């Protein structure tokens, strides 16, 4: 999952060295701007079949790769749990 998220961020931002700089602050270093943020949310939703409500997520989540990966992981777990409770297939 991390590798796919790296690919998405690199494609959206043009920053091609995220794999070697996983601890970089994506906002402070102006890698993710407001337009890239909107595209990132949309791309993550499409790729991982999740729903992200940006207003309900701590803005600091978007600063680091690891926190974005954690967010997607948790949302996928939540979605899987919701689908199991409603007997719907993912």
First to last CA, the chain: 17
Q: Percentage of the chain surpassing pLDDT 70?
A: 90
- 56: closest CA among 85, 82, 78? 78
d(CA 72, CA 45): 9
pLDDT at 85: 53
Q: What is the mean pLDDT of residues 36-61?
A: 92
- How far CA 31 is from CA of 38, 47, 62, 78, in Å, comes to 13, 21, 11, 29
Name the CATH superfamily for 2-85. Answer: ACP-like (1.10.1200.10)
- Domain ranges in the chain? 2-85
pTM of the model: 0.84
pLDDT at 89: 42
Q: What is the mean pLDDT of residues 50-64?
A: 90
């Amino acid at each position: 999952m991390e590798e796919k998220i790296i690919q998405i961020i690199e494609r959206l931002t043009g920053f091609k060295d995220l794999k070697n700089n996983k601890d970089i602050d994506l906002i402070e270093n102006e890698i993710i701007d407001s337009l890239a943020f909107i595209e990132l949310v949309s791309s993550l939703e499409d790729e991982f079949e999740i729903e992200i409500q940006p207003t309900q997520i701590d803005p600091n989540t978007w600063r680091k790769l690891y926190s974005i990966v954690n967010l997607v992981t948790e949302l996928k777990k939540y979605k899987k749990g919701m689908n199991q409770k409603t007997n719907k297939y993912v």
